[in-house]
Amino acid sequence: MNMHVDRPPLTIRLCGPRGFCAGVDRAIQIVVLALKRYGAPVYVRHEIVHNRYVVEGLEAKGAIFVEELDEIPAEHREQPVVFSAHGVPKSVPEDAASRNLFYLDATCPLVSKVHKQAMRHERLGRHVILIGHEGHPEVIGTMGQLPPGSVSLIETVEDADAYEPADPDNLGYVTQTTLSVDDTAGVIARLMERFPNLTPPSADSICYATTNRQEAVKQAAPGCDLFIVVGAPNSSNSKRLVEVALRAGATRSLLVQRASEIDWDYVGNIRTLGISAGASAPEVIVDEIIEAFRQRFDAKVELAITAEENEHFLVNRELRDVELTREDMAWVNG
């Protein structure tokens, strides 16, 4: 029987920008280039980015993922250890130095910028408010730039209401880079209302890529019977895209890691599908999901593009003379 008989029509609105941001791209390149330069194994502390496919792909090339540095065996001391794109507390490079480990920091430059803003607030005598999600690696890294007790974490408007600082006139805030632009605006507005002298960071903390992906989803979501966000359940920016799609008018929205996990009964008979991908989701998986819909629907793809991204972040100095080819990255970029 021919599967392609009488496939129902489907319009796929494919968002742009989507998928890898410059910080994620750079972090993955750092591991790939380190493997080329130093050979396997290259150690990586925590998931380099929040994506199983990426982690497994790098493991296949010879990367070993560890939670903490004491898991690196003595005989591999000379091999590099890479710190993830989310950033690390100051104690981690200090720990690496005390163990004589050679490390490559893959912290996204936009996360490093938030670290610097937080440190600047603190240097100028302000208590730092960090707007973010408790337990997220980026939040742990940002709080870990400053002495214990000098940062308060605020997650919601309710938290902002309940917050009682020791000195309400000396406060500065920064935010996690991957939050919902709209939700964060509400929290900041409430804090400003309560603490008129609250000092903002000198540049916006939510990064360009988060903002751009949310904007594209907002434009594409109205009228979608289903909106699929390609991404991992522990990826903050991907989960925010699901919420943005629903809020902007998609009937249903799903976070999907691979085509194989799509429940086709749940998908049902849809006519308009939106697709975007979180900042750590490879384009290869977006292609795989579109292909899965093409097999079941007579699908036409419309591009819903709201911005052009051409940011590019340089890799660590130690790796800049190693050649990176298209083939080196084809497993994620297609």
301-329 pLDDT tens trace: 999 999 999 999 999 999 999 999 999 99
Asked whether the predicted pLDDT for residue 109 surpasses 70, the reply is yes
Asked whether the predicted pLDDT for residue 218 surpasses 70, the reply is yes
What is the arithmetic mean of pLDDT over 148-157?
97
Asked whether the predicted pLDDT for residue 292 surpasses 90, the reply is yes
Distance in angstroms between the alpha carbons of the first and the last residue of the chain: 31
* Confidence band for 2, pLDDT divided at 50, 70 and 90: low
What is the arithmetic mean of pLDDT over 63-77?
96
Is 224 flagged in the annotation as binding?
A: no
* pLDDT for res 6: 85
Rounded CA separation 307/116 (Å): 27
* Confidence band for 1, pLDDT divided at 50, 70 and 90: low
Query: By percentage, how much of the chain surpasses pLDDT 90?
Result: 97
* Confidence band for 3, pLDDT divided at 50, 70 and 90: low
Q: Which of 134, 138, 155, 291 is catalytic?
A: 138
CA distance readout (Å), 44 to 10, 56, 275, 316: 42, 12, 30, 15
What is the arithmetic mean of pLDDT over 248-252?
98
94 annotated active-site: no
Is 280 flagged in the annotation as binding?
A: yes
Is 76 flagged in the annotation as binding?
A: no
* pLDDT for res 4: 57
Is 15 flagged in the annotation as binding?
A: no
* Confidence band for 60, pLDDT divided at 50, 70 and 90: very high
Q: Angle 219-222-223 (CA atoms, 0-180°, nearest 5)?
A: 140
Which residue in 54, 22, 11 sits closest to 230, CA to CA? Answer: 54
* Confidence band for 223, pLDDT divided at 50, 70 and 90: very high
Is 236 flagged in the annotation as binding?
A: yes
Asked whether the predicted pLDDT for residue 226 surpasses 60, the reply is yes
98 burial class (0-12, 13-18, 19+ CB within 10 angstroms)? exposed
Is 235 flagged in the annotation as binding?
A: yes
Is 98 flagged in the annotation as binding?
A: no
Which residue in 295, 301, 294, 286 sits closest to 334, CA to CA? Answer: 286
